[in-house]
Amino acid sequence: MVVEVNHLDNRGSGRAATWRKNELGNEKKLKLTIPRTLPGEKVKVTVDQPERKRRKAVADEIIESSLERVEAPCPHFDKCGGCVWQHWSYDGQLHYKTDHVKQLLEEQGFDPTLVKETIGMEEPWRYRNKMEFTFSEEGDLGLHEQGNWRKIIPLETCLIAGEGMVEATMAVSQWVKDHQLPGYIKDMHEGLLRHLMVRQSFATGEIMLAIVATESPDGRLQTAVDDLVERIGRFPNVKSLLWLENTDWADRAQAEKIHLLAGRDYIYDEMAGYRFRLWFDTFFQTNPAQAEKLVELALELSQPRYSEKMIDLFCGVGTFSLPFASKVKKLAGIEIVESSIESAKRNAQDNGLLNTTFLAKDARKGIDQMLESFGKPDLLMLDPPRSGAGGKVMRRIGRAVPNRIVYVSCNPESFAEDIKELEPFGYTLKVVQPVDLFPHTVHVEIVAILEK
């Protein structure tokens, strides 16, 4: 059948609708999800089980293509799930993200004209400083197929990862093939290699490689591991080579035991003029160039003063805390992950910042505890996870009555819902600035300022 794509879903795939007659001759609506298509395109698709209400289909032919359609440069784009929009011009992506943020805010009753145009990248490739690759059952290293978490697409390159990261990743991949090491079979909970986490500081050039496996690296694997250490030794930028044991059923890049194979167990990175230590499980912005833009915007919009006290909610390792601490009288950071708080303390110390306090607590209880010891903040900042801060936390923020609130969000939908909670407390949304940290994907970050 031939259909017209009328919008995109929240995963970036085209959506279309058509009418089909069922076996009784009645007209029934069929909603289609068609990956790698763009709004306004007319496409020919083949649909299995068209009697269903919803189906996923692949475009057999683009009959009328969008003027914004481009040729995808990556050879793996047709199958790999790492990117969804390489077939869309970058300007088209940015305009869509701006409109998407406006729509979500308007649905919550906010003025969409407060949203500025999305700030993009001059060069929207090779921007990621961290990747997590997965081993297939056969030991091939790659990413999941789009929409199919059971299938791994073996990769020869990755155009969104730094070149040094890709080179080191390919060296690990070749090592696995040469030693014929098996991958992990999820359904049967057996096998050896699960993931490879690779991260690189674009500022210092330092690289960390962390292999997640179900066994210890010694014993029967000792000869192969010795060879790995020798091969990786040819990459002078690799300052940390780790082997992480994970025997859990959960398919995450976590560790029950950490084995340091070479170098140190962390690397150094820099952002906005401050130095950070990054361990394998440290959360750090994965697009350093645009992350610095986030910090600049947060400072510019909130205008911190040396006479003010500030609370930084969901502070992580201090990505925003450190630049703000140098601009205010006192800063208190709150984060539920204890290892991140320890890192934040160490990072503040490394950078000579003596006016900081960090608390390992969930946001809701942390605010209450910090208000007792720290007092009312003049400025409050939050950078919550994708799920948002939630109504209870937002109402506590409102009752803390900071003069200004700067909200950094990676999810415009939860952001719009969260700031709605602040209206009864007399806060007004002043400006919303989207920033594109993840070109060729659906994600967009936001920096916003609200005033009492």
The contacts of residue 303 (CB under 8 Å, 6+ apart) are: 404
With beta carbons less than 8 A apart as the criterion, state whether 84 and 11 touch.
Answer: yes
Phi, psi dihedral angles at 224 (to 5 degrees)? -65, -40
Contact 69, 14 (CB under 8 A): no
- Specify whether the backbone of 198 is left (phi greater than 0), alpha (psi in -120 to 50) or beta: beta
DSSP letters, 390-412, are -HHHHHHHHHT--SEEEEEES-H
Which of 80, 83, 315, 410 is an active site residue? 410
3-state secondary structure of 49: coil
Compute how many other C-beta atoms are within 10 angstroms of the C-beta atom of residue 60. Answer: 11
Q: Active site includes 410?
A: yes
Rg (CA), the chain: 24
Q: Nearest CA to 280 among 258, 302, 307?
A: 258
Two structure tokens written together for 92: 């088209």
With contact defined as beta carbons under 8 Å apart, do 224 and 245 qualify?
A: no
Q: How far apart are CA 203 and CA 292, in angstroms?
A: 12
DSSP state of 69: B
Pairing of strands 27-34, 309-313: unpaired
Q: Which residues are catalytic?
A: 410
